[in-house]
């Protein structure tokens, strides 16, 4: 193989993970692609209508995101498409931008999707994939449940035959009493029938046919027969053929808003995708590549933005169905995307008569399923602090915005965790000033310590020393009055934060000011170098000992015992 061929092969391997395709099974992957296409169709229509971009945007997003994520991603069985969380955020983006700029608002919204894709690619290339989901479960549960609640709230209006008011959750809630007086009963009947199918379909039937497809078909059939003469809101014309390529439009003045919204959407897509990929790993006993998956999702969202499709992420329902029917490789997701393209090209006119109320019912069921019912029911029993964080993040997600909710939730959770760790680590800061202290010193060390006659102080620290322990260390200075030698025992400390290092520097300064010699014993070269770089230790020429026994021998020698 020539060098040029090797370089080309290396570039290809970096761009495409061919290892994922080695489990390809034609029959299993074909069945997986067909089944997930059937599952995706009603969801794509529902999310497209719910977002305000139109049913075709949902179909385009399901096909394009699914295709590119399957080709360039890092998982074998993940199905990517518009999801409930992504649709909720995209809906808010579309409403905000259209209100600010009616002519170009929708084009700007797709620019946001493009930036979201760029954000995901950047995170993947920076190899930050494994850090995206490192957040407390109470925060994840809170914002997922908040998104579910928001989706439920926004679907109440189309369920009763009315357009959803623009302005977010507060406007939707405040307008609800007036809306209930304008219910269009025929549309509510259709929505109720669809919800009855979605919630009441027996589990055995669900394995054979997705309830979303049954609800879509049954609702459309009822609307065309029993309610044929009633004026109902329907999907309307869906353009046949492939979508046109369009470069997302925005002006320099709108750039900052688009960047912020795009990064928010991109981060949500990262979290949504990687959580679903972890579920897929648990079902297949295979490991996904988080960084490559983020790159693949980013490329997919950049592509869908250029064709007017909704943004997408890893979809739990489609992924689980794909695995359950036996799919083994990304070929199933690729076939699914091609089937959806065929539907767009050939069957679009058949979807024009689908009632909006039925799609609202499907989106309502998705919102219901997103709610983390398991944790909502027992959060207060598991942990009051976790319940507080979860409900707080949920409220902020519904009434403020997602990033504020996650940021506040993670901050509070981290503060509580640090406080607990500080209490634990502070108990491991022990000052031994007399031989009567209950501290397990070996016999040889005990004899040397006793020989000091109470003139030797041993400040023993163990475990990782985080910044919250600094106060506990500073409180030990009061015992320096009667001592002649202070031994800082860091032999059991694997990690020393900067704050704790500075607190130890203060201990050294106070000891030297009181005429007390200081010895340090540590088995870590990193901790030794960190202490040696401190100003006070450099000025005082701090002495280091190889072990606690060595430090005690030096201390006894200094005392002349």
What is the DSSP annotation of 358-414? HHHHHHHHHHHHHS-HHHHHHHHHH-HHHHHHHHHHHHHHHHT-HHHHHHHHHHHHH
Domain chopping of the chain, boundaries: 24-153+169-231+244-349+356-415, 430-559
Of the pLDDT bands very low, low, confident and very high (cuts 50, 70, 90), residue 520 is confident
What's the pLDDT score for residue 370? 87
What's the pLDDT score for residue 516? 81
3-state secondary structure of 487: strand
Q: Looking at residues 2-24, what average pLDDT do you find?
A: 65
Q: Is residue 309 over pLDDT 70?
A: yes
Q: Write down the architecture of domain 430-559 according to CATH.
A: 2-Layer Sandwich (3.30)
Q: The tokens of 150 are what?
A: 């928001």
What's the pLDDT score for residue 316? 87
Residues in a beta bridge with 488 = 459, 520
Of the pLDDT bands very low, low, confident and very high (cuts 50, 70, 90), residue 156 is very high
260: CB partners within 8 A, 6+ apart = none
What's the pLDDT score for residue 115? 95
Q: Per-residue pLDDT tens for 522-560?
A: 877 887 887 777 765 556 667 788 888 888 888 888 887
What's the pLDDT score for residue 256? 84
pTM over 0.75: yes
Q: Looking at residues 22-29, what average pLDDT do you find?
A: 88
95 and 273 Cβ atoms separated by less than 8 Å: no
Higher pLDDT, 505 or 29: 29
Of the pLDDT bands very low, low, confident and very high (cuts 50, 70, 90), residue 428 is low
What's the pLDDT score for residue 474? 59
Of the pLDDT bands very low, low, confident and very high (cuts 50, 70, 90), residue 110 is very high
Number of H helices, E strands in the chain: 25, 7
534 and 505 Cβ atoms separated by less than 8 Å: yes
Higher pLDDT, 429 or 224: 224
What's the pLDDT score for residue 376? 87
Q: For the chain, what's the residue count?
A: 561
- Alpha-carbon distance 260 to 115, whole Å? 9
Q: Looking at residues 401-411, what average pLDDT do you find?
A: 79
- Average pLDDT over all residues of the chain: 84
Q: Per-residue pLDDT tens for 163-179?
A: 888 777 888 888 888 98
3-state secondary structure of 462: strand
């Amino acid at each position: 193989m020539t060098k040029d061929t090797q370089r080309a092969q290396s570039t290809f391997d970096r761009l495409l993970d061919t290892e994922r395709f080695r489990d390809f099974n034609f029959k299993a992957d074909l069945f997986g692609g067909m089944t997930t296409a059937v599952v995706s169709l009603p969801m794509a229509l529902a999310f497209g209508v719910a977002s305000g971009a139109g049913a075709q945007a949902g179909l385009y997003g399901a096909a394009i995101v699914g295709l590119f994520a399957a080709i360039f991603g890092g998982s074998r069985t993940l199905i990517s498409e518009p999801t409930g969380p992504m649709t909720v955020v995209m809906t808010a983006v579309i409403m905000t931008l259209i209100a600010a700029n009616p002519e170009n608002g929708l084009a700007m919204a797709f620019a946001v999707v493009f930036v979201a894709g760029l954000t995901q690619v950047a995170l993947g290339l920076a190899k930050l994939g494994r850090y995206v989901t490192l957040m407390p479960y109470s925060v994840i549960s809170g914002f997922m449940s908040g998104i579910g609640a928001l989706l439920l709230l926004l679907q109440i209006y189309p369920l009763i035959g009315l357009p959803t008011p623009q302005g977010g959750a507060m406007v939707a809630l405040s307008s609800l009493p007036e809306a209930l007086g304008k219910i269009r009963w025929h549309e509510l009947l259709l929505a109720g029938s669809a919800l009855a199918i979605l919630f009441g379909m027996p589990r055995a039937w669900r394995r054979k046919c997705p309830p979303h497809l049954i609800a879509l078909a049954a609702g459309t059939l009822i609307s065309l027969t029993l309610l044929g003469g009633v004026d109902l809101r329907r999907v309307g014309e869906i353009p046949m053929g492939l979508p046109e390529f369009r470069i997302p439009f925005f002006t320099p003045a709108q750039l900052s808003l688009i960047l912020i919204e795009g990064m928010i959407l991109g981060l949500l897509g990262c979290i949504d995708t990687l959580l679903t990929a972890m579920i897929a790993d648990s079902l297949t006993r295979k490991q996904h590549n988080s960084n490559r998956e983020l790159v693949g999702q980013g490329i997919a969202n950049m592509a869908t933005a250029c064709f007017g499709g909704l943004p997408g992420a890893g979809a739990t329902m489609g992924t689980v169905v794909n695995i359950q029917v036996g799919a083994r490789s990304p070929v199933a997701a690729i076939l699914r995307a091609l089937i959806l393209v065929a539907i767009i090209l050939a069957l679009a006119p058949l979807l024009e008569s689908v009632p909006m109320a039925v799609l609202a019912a499907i989106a309502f069921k998705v919102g219901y399923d997103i709610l983390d019912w398991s944790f909502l029911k027992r959060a207060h029993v598991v942990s009051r602090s976790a319940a507080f964080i979860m409900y707080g993040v949920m409220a902020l997600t519904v009434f403020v915005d997602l990033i504020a909710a996650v940021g506040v939730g993670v901050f509070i959770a981290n503060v509580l965790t640090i406080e607990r760790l500080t209490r634990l680590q502070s108990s491991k800061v022990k000052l031994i000033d007399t031989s009567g202290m209950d501290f397990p010193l070996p016999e040889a060390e005990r004899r040397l310590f006793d020989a000091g006659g109470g003139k030797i102080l041993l400040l023993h620290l163990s475990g990782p020393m985080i910044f919250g322990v600094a106060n506990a260390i500073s409180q030990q200075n009061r015992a320096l009055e009667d001592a002649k030698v202070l031994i800082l025992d860091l032999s059991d400390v694997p990690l020393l934060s900067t704050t704790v290092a500075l607190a130890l520097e203060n201990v050294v300064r106070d000891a030297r000011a009181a005429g007390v010699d200081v010895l340090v014993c540590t088995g870590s070269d990193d901790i030794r170098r960190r202490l040696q770089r401190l100003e006070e230790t450099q000025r005082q020429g701090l002495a280091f000992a190889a072990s606690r026994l060595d430090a005690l021998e030096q201390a006894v020698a200094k005392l002349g015992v």
